Structure 1
Amino acid sequence: MIDKLEFFIVLARERHFGRAADACGVTQPTLSASLKQLEDQLGVVLVQRGSRFQGLTPEGQRVLEWARRIVGDARTMREEMKAARKGLSGHARIAVIPTATYMVTDLTVAFTEKHPAVTLSVTSCTSYEVLSRLENFEIDVGISYLENEPTGRVATVPLYAERYQLITSEGQEFADRSSVSWAEVATLPLCLLTPDMQNRRIINQHLAEAGATAKPTLESNSMIVLFSHIRTGRWASIMPVNLAETLGFDEDIKSIPIVEPDAHHVVGMIAAPREPHTPIVSALLHEARVFAKALAER
């Protein structure tokens, strides 16, 4: 039944029989037959069928919850037995919000030094995508905001508090200041992350609290793109303190704290709430706790 439940989870994610079959590596008739067998075994209809996928039935929604739990537990059991035989090995998938990409190397370097047989993939995506991929077993852990917007039912390890600075170039307005207010920042030609990013929604929130509105003339989902445009001298941006430093300053780039208020938001590692976690997830969460403790002691 496990394989049928896995097919069902993928179909619920893709919401399209053809794409789900491709993702599962089977033909569409094989996928449809497996789902029909699952329905026969459970005695309920799971999928609203027509000429195309029309959604899950109420029973299908409930079975999806059970499927995620059962498939997750089965995978955890397999990984734990594999680790018991061979030690920790395999592949770990991490999804990271763009503003946290600067710090992920601290985690991955320490992790691979302790677990050299584990390979890693790191992808950048929105906070919503982090949660969705975690729920659908597409990643092992995520790094995202732990507050401001609902994170759902997840295991969390707080890592650091994100604070914000105006990043601009020498000679531009406010470049010689020791601090700047959110209202003042709103008057500048800004380049910011796209609205689907939670960092952008946080920035919008603080500007609104200051009675201002962000009117960026350039948007991107890449912090590198934003920073390259700041270097032209035509744009300024709002970036987390540590990320701005990691991107690399020269004497022409200025970093100015934004006050009124001195806002901060907690970023951390998140994982599925099930216990026990897979050995790889447990090792990643452990490394996150080590990182957070070392950062707090600096």
Structure 2
Amino acid sequence: MIDKLEMFIALAKQKHFGHAAEECRVTQPTLSAAIKQLEDFLGVKLVRRGSRFQGLTPEGMRVLDWARRIVSDARAMQEEMHAARHGLTGDVRIAVIPTALTMVKDLTAPFCERHPDIRFTILARSSIEILSLVVDLKVDVGITYLDNEPLGKMTSVPLYSEHYHFVTMEGGPFAERKSVTWKEASSVPLCLLTQDMQNRRIIDKHLEDAGVTAAPTLESDSIIALFSHIRSGRWSGIMPSKLVEAFAPLPSLRSLPIDAPDVAHTVGIIANFREPYTPVIAALLQQAKAISAFDPAHR
């Protein structure tokens, strides 16, 4: 039954029988038969079929919620029994917004000290992709913004507040200043993240609040690409201060806080809301609380 539910979850995500079969590493007839057997078992139609996948029925949408819960519970039970005998082991998948990639080590390094048999895979993804990956059980946890766009039924632990800096090179615009305004930052050639990134949507909103429109002459979904273009001297950027700290050793880099107003957004870890959590996710959430800048011990 669990394997059939996993195939159903994959179909709901991929919206295509062939693609879902590839994800589950089975043939398309095998997946189609599993979905039909699931429908026969439950006595309802789950999928609207035609020449191709046409969506889930209302009953299918409800079963999808149950399927995610049951599959998650089954995995949690397996992990808990394994952890009871061997301690925490295995692979942990974390999807992270690009602007938070440099801080993930603050979570993973102390975690690996306590649990040396854990292996991490870190994926850079947009906030929308992260939410989907967590919901669909494709990653264990995500690190994303907590307070800007709705997260749904998620457990979250705030990690730090994201503030924004104007980044340029020595001799570049406003390089000799101590700070700049949002309006001033918009007046020079900018390179920014692409609009599918929540960081970009946040920046666009604050520029709009300042009465200007973001008009970057270069966009990228790569932080490395943005910093390399800033280093050319042709562009400046607007970056989270924590991210800039990681690149602070770059010679001649200038980072100025953006005030008028100084704004902040909360970045944190998210996981599917459930009780009990798998041992690994419970330990990750506990580690997140230990390093959180919002914890009184870290203020």
> Which interval holds the TM-score relative to the shorter structure?
over 0.9
Report the CA distance between 1:136 and its aligned residue: 0.4
C-alpha separation in 1, matches of 2:296 and 2:117: 27
Pairs within 5 Å for 1:141-220: 141-220=141-220
C-alpha separation in 1, matches of 2:169 and 2:89: 46
1:278 aligns with 2:298: no
Pairs within 5 Å for 1:221-236: 221-236=221-236
Report the CA distance between 1:262 and its aligned residue: 0.2
CA shift in 2, pair 1:150/1:192, >3 Å: same
Contact between 2:76 and 2:278, CA under 8 Å: does it hold in 1? yes
- Give the match for residue 38 of structure 2: 38
- Give the match for residue 60 of structure 1: 60
How many equivalent residue pairs? 298
TM-score by length of 2: 0.97
C-alpha separation in 2, matches of 1:296 and 1:197: 32
Report the CA distance between 1:251 and its aligned residue: 4.1
Report the CA distance between 1:186 and its aligned residue: 0.6
- Same amino acid, percent of matched pairs: 59
CA-atom RMSD in angstroms = 1.2
C-alpha separation in 2, matches of 1:242 and 1:219: 20
C-alpha separation in 1, matches of 2:30 and 2:45: 18
C-alpha separation in 1, matches of 2:198 and 2:16: 28
Q: Which amino acid aligns with 1:297?
A: H
TM-score by length of 1: 0.98
1:73 aligns with 2:79: no
C-alpha separation in 2, matches of 1:115 and 1:281: 13
Report the CA distance between 1:296 and its aligned residue: 5.6
C-alpha separation in 2, matches of 1:151 and 1:170: 40
Secondary structure of the 1:234 match is coil
- Give the match for residue 297 of structure 1: 298
Secondary structure of the 1:214 match is coil
Q: Which amino acid aligns with 2:272?
A: A
Secondary structure of the 2:93 match is strand
C-alpha separation in 1, matches of 2:70 and 2:298: 40
C-alpha separation in 2, matches of 1:129 and 1:219: 19
Secondary structure of the 2:199 match is helix
Contact between 2:93 and 2:140, CA under 8 Å: does it hold in 1? yes
- Give the match for residue 9 of structure 2: 9
Contact between 2:291 and 2:298, CA under 8 Å: does it hold in 1? no
Contact between 2:93 and 2:120, CA under 8 Å: does it hold in 1? yes
1:164-204 CA deviation, whole Å, 9 max, x = no partner? 00000111121111110000001010000000000000000
Secondary structure of the 2:11 match is helix
1:258 aligns with 2:262: no
C-alpha separation in 2, matches of 1:172 and 1:33: 63
Report the CA distance between 1:249 and its aligned residue: 3.4
